[in-house]
Structure 1
Amino acid sequence: MTRRPCLLATATAGVTAALLLAGCGGGDGAESDSTGKSADAGASASPSASASSADAAGRPKITFPSDAKNVFEDAKTGDATKDAVLADSALGVNSVDEAIFKGSTGTEALDFYHSGKALESSIAYVQGFIDDGDTWIGEIRFFDRKVTLSGVNRAYVTYCSDESKAFVKNKKTKKVDRNPATSKSYVLYRTVLAKNADGVWRTADIVSNRGDRACQP
């Protein structure tokens, strides 16, 4: 699947400079499914009923259709704070896709896990799918996820996505666009997350580059 114009090139110049310091690197952490929870903690690997349970921070439940799944690698770093950042980063990704599946930019999770420019551009991204009457099916893999902490309330996360097994589907016609995988099926993301008063790491800025050499197989 080649998603719409590469998601969210919105970061300010200062933020972009900071993001560029963190590259896409390897990792051997535990894999997590589209719940954003670590697979070694008992999260289901099934593509159906991907959801996140509410917790003390009032996290909204995120649900996926049975024919779509996000898989997140490198979920465990050995550092509790970094692991929390990665978990909320994954849930932020899932919240965007949930909005696409529901055909709504007003979902609770989208706002819960995004703020500022990242929220604005995520809404615009979802709206592109809505305007075209599209959704997607299949599996997207997120890998080479790395965290750099900046103080106690700010973090930078870089990661790659592999969309080679995901396909755009028109909701009305049910037609699935099964284009073959190309270099454009791989995307590099650089993100900024900020921890709010409830301890939730919200994505505040995102820059991305579809077809980036750092993410090619």
Structure 2
Amino acid sequence: MNRRPALLAAAALTAAAALSLSACGGSDGDSKDNEKIAGADQGAEKKESPSPKASDDGIDRPEIKLPKDVDNVFEGAKTGDPKKDAVLADNERWLDALIEATVVVDAKDHPALKFYGSGDALLSAADYIQGFRKKDSSFIGSIRYYDRQVTFLKDGVAAVSYCQDGTKTYPKDLKSGKVNRSIPESEADYGFYNTRVRKNAKGVWQTESVTYVKEAVKKCM
């Protein structure tokens, strides 16, 4: 059984990276997977994602809602640099949108995912989500993101790196509704990711690629 989100994400993102020349389960990487993100019925009660709050930048942003038993926790949201903070805020929204599309399976569509992601990032997201769908599984709990760094490149492009801790999440079988809390913590519960983001015409820092860096995972533990 899939341990936690970090392990499945690593498998999906590694597969996507190979396909773009740049766990368990996942699709064959066909771009049609981007249209399969909304899945079957779960019916979990939802709540508004706590972070980040609505912005005052004039951008009409789609609403993101997560179930009450799922939470993304972001550390280091304020760097003191408004430009970096804006990048991190949209990185948070991308991750919230990804988790929403993964665990809220009774929705017909998840507009926030395509609003905050593009290209290879959407491909890896489809693999990630379909990995859960194919096993009729989901998860509950809290995912922590920390050691978040922004590096500006050129032409409206930046790199965002971060650690992910999934030790406080637990697999859930969608058919039975049972949650498995008995699996012990392991290195597979952690992940280190490098993402490439680009500022689009709307002023949104869209995530366009995500790379799982296995060699750097230990720094996150």
1:31-80 CA-to-partner distances (Å, cap 9, x unmatched) read xxxxxxxxxxxxxxxx9532554763221110011111110001011111
Does the 8 Å CA contact 1:48/1:67 hold for their aligned counterparts? Answer: no
Alpha-carbon separation, structure 2, partners of 1:54 and 1:79: 16
Correspondence 1:184 to 2:183: no
Q: Assess, with a 3 A threshold, how the Cα gap between structure 1 residues 63 and 193 changes in structure 2: closer, same or farther.
A: same
In structure 2, the partner of 1:82 is 84
Amino acid at match of 1:76: K
* Identity across matched positions, percent: 38
Alignment correspondent of 1:28: none
Aligned residues of 2:192 and 2:212 also touching (Cα < 8 A): yes
Q: Choose which of 187, 193, 201 in structure 1 pairs with 2:197.
A: 193
**1:99-138 correspondence to structure 2 within 5 Å:** 99-103=101-105, 106-138=109-141
Q: Which residue of 2 aligns with 1:38?
A: none
TM-score, normalising length from structure 1?
Answer: 0.77
Structure 2 residues without counterparts, runs of 5 or longer: 23-45
* More displaced 10-residue stretch of structure 1: 105-114 or 132-141: 105-114
- Alpha-carbon distance in 2 for matches of 1:142, 1:5: 14
Contact 1:189 1:207 in 2 (8 A): yes
Q: Distance in 1 between matches of 2:201 and 2:48?
A: 30
Q: Which residue of the partner structure matches residue 151 of structure 2?
A: 148
Q: Pick closer, same or farther for the CA change 1:92–1:120 going to 2, 3 Å.
A: same
Deviation at 1:11, TM superposition (A): 4.4
The answer to whether the 8 Å contact 1:54/1:60 transfers is: no
SS, match of residue 169 in structure 1:
strand
Structure 1 alignment gaps of length 5 or more: 17-46
**How many residue pairs align between the two structures?**
186
Q: Which runs of 4+ in 1 moved over 3 A?
A: 51-55
Summarize the Cα distance change of 1:78–1:113 in structure 2 as closer, same or farther, 3 Å threshold.
same
Find out whether 1:214 has 2:216 as its counterpart: no
Distance 1:57 1:5 in 2: 29
Q: Per-residue displacement from partner, 1:100-159 (whole Å, max 9, x unpaired)?
A: 122268410111111001111111211111221112111111000000011351110000
The letter for the 1-side match of 2:61 is: R
> Does the aligned pair in 2 maintain the 1:113–1:202 contact within 8 Å?
yes
Contact in 1 for aligned 2:121/2:209 (Cα 8 Å): yes
Residue 70 to residue 77, structure 1, CA distance change in 2 (3 Å): same
Residues 54, 61 of structure 1: 8 Å contact kept: no
Structure 1 residue identity aligned to 2:93: L
